[in-house]
Structure 1
Amino acid sequence: MKATGRQRFVLPAIIALAAALLTVTPGPASAHGTTIDAPSRNYGCWARWGNQFQNPAMQTQDPMCWQAWQTDTNAMWNWNGLYRENVQGNHQAAIPNGQLCSAGRTGDGRYRAMDNIGNWQAKNVSRSFTVQLLDQAGHGADYIRLYVTRQGFNPLTQALGWSNLELLAQVGYTPSAQWTRVTTPFNGFQMNIPVTANGRTGRHMVYAVWQASHMDQSFYFCSDVNFV
């Protein structure tokens, strides 16, 4: 049957809309976890702009999130999926310098914008602060390691490398039953880990390595902080 003029106009529009819906997921696609305080880079972008991720105001108000949304929206919709499998504890071998925030361009490079250097929004913290890690799926932890960049590192101009980090806090084997059950901001389990970062002033990064217990699955999170 021959298509009318109206059909020729409507059908391509329907196809384009369907493709857009398949590309952009309106929320986290799977339940894993991340650091929510200080927020990891992609979680922070989602928390601030998820309801208006096409708002052009982001380009001037939050330019690092703007470039991240333009690079791959799924990095923010899947803020809880930044992990690698089968690393076997060899984190430095698996993740090259300059790619720590994307876990070595994991997920076919989905999170690559997290590595970009610039003025990411940073949370003000004191030298004694608490990192909150959300475990939505009840994975638990073989261990959690929290690093803070050394004094003199400038995240506004330098790419993050392993030598820039100092291990300042860690937690050993902890099943999810020993975490705090929470319902906000999401259902899951939360671990609060105190960190003392003596001698730090100004802008820094917190780097978390969470080795989940359910399988050899390693999560990596970059959070931006400002010591005041």
Structure 2
Amino acid sequence: MLSTRTHDLEARVPLLNFVNLKSLVLRCDYPYDFIFPLLLILKQLTSLHLLTEHYNSCDHSQLLTHPTLKRITLINVCLTEFNFKQIESIRSSNIEYLKIKPCSFINLNLLLRHLPQLKYGNFTLPARSMRYPLVMENTTIFNLIYLKLDVISLEFNHLKQLLSRVPNLIYLSFASTSNEFFIDGHQWQCLLEKLVNLKMFNLNMKNWYNKATDEIKESFKTKFWIDEHPKQI
């Protein structure tokens, strides 16, 4: 793991000495946009893990266009959202795996639209992710087969619209504490019936509502869950 503290990455670790580096983990303690152009030197780099604890206004869209990068993990421990200011200008990207914590729902939609090679997505949506009016994208994402969502605030209808764009999804994991509709087996059945390629569904919910536990259990005791899809939960 390398640190960007006081720009020591430039001073102490000449990247030209690591031109064959394929995987890089960075802990970014200070503004780190200076590192993005340096990554272009690493022409064998396929995996980047960036961890920070601070707000940074730099544009992370640059990372998505790195010619050899296929896996990117962006984590902000303080849950400050990452910026993707120029994402609309992306014309080509080879990213196949993307994990972002946190990621607004608006950015999630834009990322799916502009990353046609994306196969594996893992996103944490914060409570403030829906603070702006949402215009859903209509683009179909054919390559996405794995999607993991950790949601604090989201409308079930928005989730339905999102999943309608990923017809080839094989694995879906969903965790939330925010909406009683997410612990309704009937709602999930209507949604999952449209994902004809889905093989595994993982639902993790904390019931903070007054909805009766027996009622919740009964909603997951239909033929769909017991006979047709017993391995999906």
TM-score, normalised to structure 1's length? 0.21
> Which has a greater percent of strand?
1
User: Relative CO higher for 1 or 2, CA cutoff 8 Å, sep ≥ 6?
Assistant: 1
